[in-house]
């Protein structure tokens, strides 16, 4: 307790509002559903390769309403990152601890199967066409990321 004549310090509490994410949001947000579908098609893909694929696909006409920033050879998108984080939070995708690849979880597969009709056939055809063109490039980016992770682990192991 404070004595008379003493001043007390108080900390100001700052509140930040953030949208609450529930599993039902995937039914309303087709962009997240399409992203889940793309991750499922790859089977396992690094975040960097996924963002590169979405950027290259948008250049070829597959529009998913993502905005991309390109600085040098680095492509990034805050909106893709936000959707990936949402899918991870909901447990629809999971990140492998060693390879750092994103994969669809069992819950995600259930959601995909239940919402298969919500993904347009035209989008699927266009996606398959773009995937044929970009598969080699995305695989190369994935392998590059894997090699970087392995070399980092080796470097850190020998520093001990």
- pTM, two decimals, is 0.78
Instruction: Tell me if 160 is assigned to some domain.
Output: no
51 contacts: CB under 8 Å, gap ≥ 6: 68, 75, 76, 77, 80, 81
Q: Quick one: pLDDT at residue 54?
A: 93
Number of domains present in the structure of the chain = 1
Q: For 41-57, what is each residue's pLDDT tens digit?
A: 988 898 989 999 999 99
What's the mean pLDDT in 31-44?
91
State which residues form the domain around 87: 25-151
We report the CATH number of the domain holding residue 139 as 1.10.10
What's the mean pLDDT in 6-32?
75
What's the mean pLDDT in 137-145?
82
For the chain, helix, strand, coil in percent to 5 are 60, 10, 30
Instruction: Tell me if 15 is assigned to some domain.
Output: no
| Residue 1 pLDDT greater than 60, yes or no | no
Q: For 86-108, what is each residue's pLDDT tens digit?
A: 999 999 999 988 778 899 999 99
Provide the 3-class DSSP secondary structure of residue 104.
Answer: strand
Q: Quick one: pLDDT at residue 4?
A: 61
Q: Quick one: pLDDT at residue 137?
A: 84
| Of residues 17 and 120, more confidently modeled | 120
| Of residues 142 and 111, more confidently modeled | 111
d(CA 88, CA 104): 9
d(CA 110, CA 129): 26
Q: Quick one: pLDDT at residue 19?
A: 65
Mean per-residue pLDDT over the chain, rounded: 84
């Amino acid at each position: 307790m404070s004595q008379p004549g003493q001043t007390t310090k108080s900390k100001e509490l700052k509140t930040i509002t953030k949208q609450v994410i529930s599993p039902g949001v995937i039914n309303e947000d087709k962009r997240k559903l399409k992203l889940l579908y793309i991750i499922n098609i790859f089977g396992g893909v690094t975040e960097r390769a996924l963002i590169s694929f979405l950027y290259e696909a948008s250049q070829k006409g597959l529009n998913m309403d993502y905005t991309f920033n390109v600085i040098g050879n680095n492509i990034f998108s805050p909106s893709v990152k936000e959707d990936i984080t949402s899918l991870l939070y909901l447990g629809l995708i999971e990140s492998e601890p060693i390879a750092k690849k994103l994969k669809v979880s069992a819950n995600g597969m259930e959601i995909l199967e239940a919402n298969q009709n919500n993904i347009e056939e035209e989008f699927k055809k266009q996606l398959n066409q773009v995937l044929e063109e970009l598969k080699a490039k995305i695989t190369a980016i994935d392998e590059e990321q894997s090699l970087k992770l392995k070399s980092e682990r080796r470097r850190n192991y020998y520093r001990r």
